[in-house]
Amino acid sequence: MVLASAGEEAARLLLEIGAVISCLAVIARVASRIGFSPIPAYLLLGLLLGTDEPFRLERSAGFIESSSQIGVVLLLLLLGIEYSGEELLGSLRRSAPIGLVDLVLNATPGVLAGLLLGWGALGAVFLGGITYMTSSGIVAKLLGDLGRTGNRETPQILAVLVMEDLAMSVYLPLVAGLLVGGSALATTGSVALALLAVTVVLAVSTRYGEHISRVIFSRSDEALLFSVLGLALLIAGLAESVHVSAAVGAFLLGTAISGRTSDAAHDLIAPLRDLFAGVFFVFFAFQIDPAELVPVLPQVLALAAITTLTKVATGWIAGARAGIGVPGRFRAGFALVARGEFSIVIAGLSVGSSFADELRPFAAAYVLVLAIVGPMLTRLGDGLVERWWRSGRDIGHAAGEAA
């Protein structure tokens, strides 16, 4: 009887995991076919699985929760691999002004909204972080799908993303320290530790990145995969143990990996990232009652409209500073609108707070809206701007000739 019961438990576990992954496969296939980000659909799947029978997960919730934590680590590891230490330092020097503009324009609406909603100062800081962060994953996919990686505005878009990623290395330990009710000294110490870690890792990756990469590199795909993945999880765990975000630890490790090691590691880990990141989005929405989304929709739509305009303004200013034409400035702004993985990570950190039950459905609805609006603006808005710009120039030429 015990063996039979254990067999039934194992069968139910495998069936649930298999069903979730199969649903992710269908969503990814459809999203690829129509050229949109799958993140909104992943969130919808999580909402569906969080409802009552027959959909609710009973045996695999623990596995999915653990997998979602690995998903965060891999998301940030792969993001860090995209940048070398030299590139990050160069972006810091060149893009500090636009990074400050981005922070002020896009965090402020969230902070004000959090205060108006009555979530207190800490809740406002959380919501400010959610409205601030652009989805690097969605932006990278859009630029690749639309063939814009060589466009003049693309370096400006990437510079904004890099500044946001670095800002998170300070923000995440800050809010984590505030959330657990640590003293001002302890919280300051946590932030100082994060800044020290960023400084040390950037210095090490700049001077010794090639040596580190040679030590990690292996011609065996299996050995390289285990080396990078094991090191990423170890560093993420060490970061958490000293109250620095695991995501920041993974990101910093990624920046220290360069050359052929980063290229090979990216190809090996990208499929794992896609799997575990998909589970991460599902698990986040899985914990939310879909009925909780309806009451917050009016506020979410208002905030989404405001922060869409502020992100477009950010891209416009970044493009103007680089001497890019009007259509390119709009393209940069549209590309920055989508929110995604980091906004969900921030909302996930709020567990145990007095405002968590309100923030999490709000964040899910907010990401859902802008993960749809952002790609639509990027794809469709570009054509509208081009036609408007050309028609305006034609009218100007015609007026000049008539004069």
Going from the N-terminus, what domains does the chain have, and what CATH number goes with each? Answer: 18-50+63-395 (1.20.1530.20)
pTM: 0.75
The rounded percent of the chain whose pLDDT value lies above 90 is: 24
**Considering only 46-55, 201-210, 387-396, which range has the smallest mean pLDDT?**
387-396
Residue 263: φ, ψ to 5°: -65, -50
CA distance 113 to 275: 34
Q: What is the pLDDT of residue 312?
A: 95
CA–CA dist 161, 148 (Å, integer): 16
Quote the strand ranges of 51-122, DSSP E. Answer: none
Taking the C-alpha atoms of residue 306 and residue 107, their distance in angstroms, rounded to an integer, is 11
Q: CA-based diameter of the chain, in Å? A: 95
Q: Which residues 6+ apart lie within 8 Å of 27 measured at CB? A: 38, 41, 42, 45, 278
Phi, psi of 339 (to 5 degrees): -110, 155
What six digits make up the tokens of 158?
């990437």
Among the listed ranges 48-62, 274-288, 295-309, 364-378, which one has the minimum average pLDDT value?
Answer: 48-62
Residue 1 pLDDT > 60: no
Alpha helix locations (H) across 117-243?
Answer: 120-132, 136-145, 154-179, 184-216, 221-241
Q: How far is CA 139 from CA 13, 186, 315, 385, in A?
A: 35, 36, 13, 19
As a whole number of angstroms, the distance between CA 373 and CA 335 comes to: 10
Q: Are 315 and 160 a contacting pair, CB within 8 Å?
A: yes
Is the distance from CB of 68 to CB of 279 less than 8 angstroms? yes
Cβ neighbours, 10 Å, residue 9? 12
Residues 203-224 have pLDDT tens digits of: 776 777 778 888 888 889 999 9
Percent of the chain residues past pLDDT 70, beyond the cut: 80
Beta strands in 40-173 (DSSP E): none
Task: Tell me: pLDDT of 131 over 90.
Answer: yes
Query: Using CA atoms, how far apart are residues 205 and 82, in angstroms rounded to an integer?
Result: 13
What b/e sequence results for 244-267 when a residue is b if at least 16 CB atoms lie within 10 Å of its CB, and e otherwise? bbbbbbbbbbbbbbbeebbebbbe
Q: What pLDDT band is residue 198 in, cutting at 50, 70 and 90?
A: low
Q: How many CB atoms lie within 10 A of CB 224?
A: 19
Amino acid, single-letter form, for residue 243: H
Give the Cα separation of 332 and 352 in Å (integer).
Answer: 37
Mean pLDDT of the chain: 81
Q: Which of 14-18, 59-63, 241-245 has the highest mean pLDDT?
A: 14-18
Q: How many residues does the structure list for the chain?
A: 403
Contacts of 42 (CB under 8 A, 6+ apart): 24, 27, 278, 281, 282, 285
